[in-house]
Structure 1
Amino acid sequence: MARNEVRPIIKLRSTAGTGYTYVTRKNRRNDPDRMVLRKYDPIARRHVGFREER
């Protein structure tokens, strides 16, 4: 279906090196590049950048 092509499920991995991940969807038309979101890492106990991995 078209749902999986336009808004794929992506995994966001912490840049702090803790291995913590978030799972979300993104719109490929609006964000064709890899996403970086600033979110909370409970292992590091602070907000860090989470980068999209493929």
Structure 2
Amino acid sequence: MAKKSEVRTIIKMRSTAGTGYTYMTTKNRRNSPDRLVMRKFDPRLREVVEFREER
């Protein structure tokens, strides 16, 4: 089994709509040192909203 690299870290993406819904994903710290912002589906609102990286 492949060993996980320390460059990729697990991050939590929280909805900016205030529903408290989160996604878990990984990101490469070398390629994207800033906080991630993605548009993803929030099932509580049933629409696509911005999700921001939480630390």
TM-score (norm 2): 0.90
Q: Percent identity?
A: 70
Instruction: Please report the RMSD computed on the Cα atoms of aligned residues, expressed in angstroms.
Output: 1.3
Greater helix share, 1 or 2?
Answer: 1
Structure 1 or 2: more strand by fraction? 2
Q: CA deviation at 1:2?
A: 6.7
The alignment of Structure 1 onto Structure 2 pairs a total of residues equal to: 53
- Shift in Å, 1:31: 0.7
TM normalised by structure 1 equals 0.91
Matched with 2:37 is: 36
User: Unpaired segments of 5 or more residues in structure 1?
Assistant: none
Please tell me the residue identity of whatever aligns with 1:7.
Answer: R
Give every structure 1 segment of 4 or more consecutive aligned residues whose post-TM-superposition deviation is greater than 4 Å.
none
- 5 Å matches for 1:1-54? 3=5, 5-54=6-55
- For structure 2, the 5+ residue unaligned runs are none
Structure with larger Rg: 2
